[in-house]
Amino acid sequence: MKFETLALEWYESKKMYLKESTAAYYMYELQNYILPNLGEIDVNNLTEEIIQMNVCKWQTECNIHGRIIKKSTISNIVMLIMQIIRFGIKKNILSPFKPEISYMPEVYTSKAKTFTDMELDKIAIAVISDLSFKSFGILLCLNTGIRIGDAYGKIRLKLDKPSKYKGLS
């Protein structure tokens, strides 16, 4: 028996107990990820290594939309594969086995950009050439690491609510 046959049999047995949106999600995962990769494999040849190889593939290669699949989505796909395997074991189609799947750590790319020393010098020269309260605030933020919005908020707070203590306003 092919894994695709077992997976569709599992889906049909579960479908009546699922919300429509969950059933649609499961079918989407089956059609787009599980069956294209595991569907043609004979259930007796399905191993932990085959599943693990596909998990690594899903984590490193682009999906049908041209994006790397999120770890949470891959976890959902693996959960579905495990449910299908359990279903096959209950039906005596598969020999009992419980694959232990590992995930590669996710690599995050920071969207924040830091200025180079040369860029900071150019900004400082431009700010100093037109020194005002606003440009002084920018210069202060660049050199201290304070965010401009935080500095502005603190200044507004000071101006709007003078201190009741002498010398602190």
pLDDT per residue as tens digits for the range 80-95: 999 999 999 999 988 8
User: Per-residue confidence at 138, pLDDT binned at 50, 70, 90?
Assistant: confident
Mean pLDDT of the chain: 81
Neighbours of 10 (CB within 10 A): 21
Residue predicted with more confidence, 160 or 7: 7
Q: Which residues contact 104 (CB under 8 A, 6 or more apart)?
A: 56, 59, 60
Provide the token pair at 4. 């695709």
Strands (E) across the chain are located at: none
pLDDT average, residue stretch 53-76? 80
Length of the chain: 169
